[in-house]
Amino acid sequence: MTLALGFLAAVLLALWVVPRFVGFASQRPEDHAGQGPAFDPRKHLNGPILCEGIVYGPLGRVSSRFVAHMEGRWEGNRAILTERFFYDSGRAQDREWRLTLGNQGLVAEADDLVGPGRGVVSGNAVQMKYRIRLAPEAGGHVLDVVDWMYLMDNGTIMNRSQFRKFGIKVAELIATMRPVAA
């Protein structure tokens, strides 16, 4: 019995520790320092943006697809980023981010966040960490999110986000964000 509990504890520890040193969770903003093109949120999250993405559930299968129309409006170091999502289920969702860019990076607020989100801009990447409360029809759960945006040479932003509950990955999002010509 003790051997089985010890083995179970070792497996659980490995499942918790290994992802922090390998893969998505092991990335750090400084890994992208000096890599170009430089991600400037005031430039690259400004104006109309077309976003297309996929959400994967906890077992790695596609749970939904979406297209979103976004628009960023900056005044100095503050911005409003509006989003209108259209999901493959037919559901539409409106969101609004309030961003502030300062010496300590990005601070993000939205109505569905639990407290402010914090972001670090480094080279061609932005890492955001925040807690989001899902809509009641999605269970109302509060999830921890790590969101990475990578600027490509052509101005497209590749976005990858992982959503966790109690440290366990429950969803992942992959999306492209492309500027729309005015």
Distance in angstroms (rounded) separating the CA atoms of residues 64 and 77: 34
Look at residue 18 in the predicted model and tell me its pLDDT: 56
Distance in angstroms (rounded) separating the CA atoms of residues 87 and 94: 11
**CATH code of the region 34-179:** 2.40.128.20
Distance in angstroms (rounded) separating the CA atoms of residues 104 and 147: 17
pLDDT digits (tens, 9 = 90+) for 114-143: 999 999 999 999 999 999 999 888 889 999
**Residue 108 C-alpha from the chain's centroid:** 12
Look at residue 45 in the predicted model and tell me its pLDDT: 96
11-34 residues labelled b (16+ CB within 10 A) or e (exposed): eeeeeeeebeeeeeeeeebeebee
| Cβ proximity of 101 and 120 under 8 Å | no
Look at residue 4 in the predicted model and tell me its pLDDT: 76
SS (H, E, C) 120-157: EEECCEEEEEEEEECCHHHCCCEEEEEEEEEECCCCCE
